[in-house]
A and B are shown apart, each in its own frame.
Chain A
């Protein structure tokens, strides 16, 4: 069964500021450094990691906003990574983005109705009357009223603005929605409302989600599968329960132990990481995580571990030499 979205060894680099004058020297930072994953239709894949791990860049590349410098990206079986602007346009309908900042992602000069209708206008879908009807339907679907459509973003609360953003994403009837930290800027009480809304919409409309977050409790709530990123690479991926109960990479373990867990009843040994996240993995030999790791072996300093399945479970992959030695 062909995955809805597939990435193979995708690389995305950016020039390091200040080096632009000397083109030859052009050191670049590898925001995404050889990432491969599959996203099946109908599932929610959560991409987690700390700031700077490359998840936003990966999300934007998957959303066809950035062209990968190397590697392959395919959508619904067709390769999209090399396509030009014109060919990409019809695909943009099918892949929609929801952004983190509920105010920044809405044009303060447009009414909510105009914002939601914009994808329809850009893709030339429907007459004005049809669009108006559709906007009203979408408003209702996300929990807003038709009257709200005449108001401006500054007249809404954060949660409501995010609903507008969701309605906008649904307007062109996409199959894939990429949500970049959609609830991180909201109050905790509102977060669950929005998450529930997203879940409900997914079931009703048969959507697929790529969900970016740094908040593991949110991820647990909503994801089917999880991919953990560190320094531009995926270090562990698998079904959500497996990742949470049976982490096979020290970084995952560290993230889990840092996340406050309410009412789970199990106590986890606390692992505190030493040091800061380095700028990129360029200078590090062996496993990129070894400078901060507490269970290193000799080979960790010498060879880079591949992202490979653990013994006994094909769906659970880890990029750690100690992946098969039990729960970390």
Chain B
């Protein structure tokens, strides 16, 4: 098994493989563009000379113009700026919830895979239980819970941002199972590898073995799984917001912008187009990105 000594670190190798995926690269570019544009919403609003909240009933349903590049909505508010602010929320929720779900899933999967035995069986029973619940109905029930009844302080429960926290929490609560299964499978097989046994043979404690030996070798599959899950999370958030249970107005999200659109479908069908297309583009971009990352970080390719 002789080979030449290469000088590339693993990240460089992965980056090189990733660059070969044109779709993934394009997706990355699109996502960065969307993120920057959303983040810059206040800036863009100022550039256009528009106030995002300004209601202008004389100018409802206006078509695209110099003052309003995408027209106005049913209250005369500039559509482009509303979409960008909505993007802030949707992207934020998507990334945060996916990350939270990944953290929960990693903990569960790592503990189950490392310790095995009864503990593993128990955790997997739990995971299977959560998976077998009907997703959307469960989310609806969770979203409809009265926060004051579970002891959330009034100041928080009445605030504008509470719907934001709530939706991140409930999506994370049901979304951790994919990562958990993935991590558990990988952890189980990693546990049998010689270098893990070597560390255990030295007398390393469970924490060290999990943290130094197993977890770093799980990073690739976790990144891929998380990226792929962001798309699903964004779809879930938009559905819930659309149904009126996710992000609550006046906080805009692409989902709840579509709620209005449905009511006005006979008078202003164009309003339904933009938020949806943005959701679509974002989700498909994350999916392509995840696909590209999966190929780039393929462990078989990493081991020469």
Chain A interface (Cβ within 8 Å of chain B)?
63-65, 88-89, 92, 97, 99-110, 118-119, 122-123, 151-152, 154-160, 168, 172, 185-187, 190
Q: What's the Cα separation between A123 and B202 when bound, in Å?
A: 8
Q: A185 CB to closest chain B CB, in angstroms?
A: 6
Q: A125 CB to closest chain B CB, in angstroms?
A: 11
Note all chain A residues with C-beta closer than 8 A to B32: none
| B159 contacts A by Cβ under 8 Å | no
Task: Establish whether residues B7 and A122, one from each chain, have CB atoms under 8 Å apart when the complex forms.
Answer: no
Given contacts A104-B193, A104-B194, A107-B217, contact A123 B203 (CB under 8 A): yes
With beta carbons under 8 angstroms apart, the residue of A107, A157, A186 that contacts B213 is A107
Given contacts A101-B194, A122-B199, A122-B208, contact A109 B216 (CB under 8 A): yes
With beta carbons under 8 angstroms apart, the residue of A105, A156, A172 that contacts B194 is A105
With beta carbons under 8 angstroms apart, the residue of A88, A118, A155, A190 that contacts B5 is A155
Note all chain B residues with C-beta closer than 8 A to A64: 201
Note all chain B residues with C-beta closer than 8 A to A152: 9-10
Note all chain B residues with C-beta closer than 8 A to A155: 5-8
Q: A14 CB to closest chain B CB, in angstroms?
A: 14
Chain B CB count within 10 A is highest, among A65, A88, A154, for A154
B184-210 Cβ-contact flags toward A at 8 Å (1 or 0)? 000000000111011111111000100
25 A–B contacts, CB within 8 A, in A order = A65-B200, A65-B201, A88-B203, A92-B202, A99-B198, A100-B194, A101-B194, A102-B1, A104-B194, A104-B195, A108-B302, A109-B10, A109-B216, A110-B212, A151-B5, A152-B10, A154-B6, A154-B10, A154-B302, A155-B7, A156-B5, A159-B2, A160-B5, A185-B1, A186-B1
Task: Establish whether residues A109 and B217, one from each chain, have CB atoms under 8 Å apart when the complex forms.
Answer: yes
Task: Establish whether residues B1 and A157, one from each chain, have CB atoms under 8 Å apart when the complex forms.
Answer: yes
Note all chain A residues with C-beta closer than 8 A to B8: 155
Chain A CB count within 10 A is highest, among B5, B7, B194, B304, for B194
Q: B234 CB to closest chain A CB, in angstroms?
A: 31
- Give the number of residue pairs across the A-B interface with Cβ within 8 Å: 84
Give how many B residues have a beta carbon under 8 Å from the other chain's beta carbons.
29
Given contacts A108-B303, A109-B217, contact A157 B202 (CB under 8 A): no
Task: Establish whether residues B9 and A106, one from each chain, have CB atoms under 8 Å apart when the complex forms.
Answer: no
With beta carbons under 8 angstroms apart, the residue of B5, B200, B204 that contacts A157 is B5
Task: Establish whether residues A157 and B203, one from each chain, have CB atoms under 8 Å apart when the complex forms.
Answer: no
| B3 contacts A by Cβ under 8 Å | yes
B275-304 Cβ-contact flags toward A at 8 Å (1 or 0)? 000000000000000000000000000111
Q: What's the Cα separation between A88 and B205 when bound, in Å?
A: 13
Given contacts A99-B194, A155-B7, contact A118 B1 (CB under 8 A): no
Supplied contacts A157-B1, A157-B5, 18 more A-B pairs, CB within 8 Å:
A63-B201, A65-B197, A88-B203, A97-B198, A97-B201, A102-B1, A105-B195, A105-B198, A107-B212, A108-B217, A109-B217, A118-B204, A122-B203, A154-B10, A154-B302, A155-B5, A155-B8, A158-B3
Note all chain B residues with C-beta closer than 8 A to A185: 1
Task: Establish whether residues B6 and A89, one from each chain, have CB atoms under 8 Å apart when the complex forms.
Answer: no
Task: Establish whether residues A187 and B1, one from each chain, have CB atoms under 8 Å apart when the complex forms.
Answer: yes
Q: B8 CB to closest chain A CB, in angstroms?
A: 8
Q: What's the Cα separation between A142 and B198 when bound, in Å?
A: 19
Note all chain B residues with C-beta closer than 8 A to A101: 194
Given contacts A97-B201, A104-B193, A119-B202, contact A154 B303 (CB under 8 A): yes
Q: What's the Cα separation between A77 and B303 when bound, in Å?
A: 43
Q: What's the Cα separation between A105 and B3 when bound, in Å?
A: 17
Task: Establish whether residues B194 and A118, one from each chain, have CB atoms under 8 Å apart when the complex forms.
Answer: no
| B65 contacts A by Cβ under 8 Å | no
Q: What's the Cα separation between A155 and B5 when bound, in Å?
A: 5
Given contacts A63-B201, A122-B202, contact A157 B3 (CB under 8 A): yes
Q: What's the Cα separation between A185 and B1 when bound, in Å?
A: 7
| B4 contacts A by Cβ under 8 Å | yes
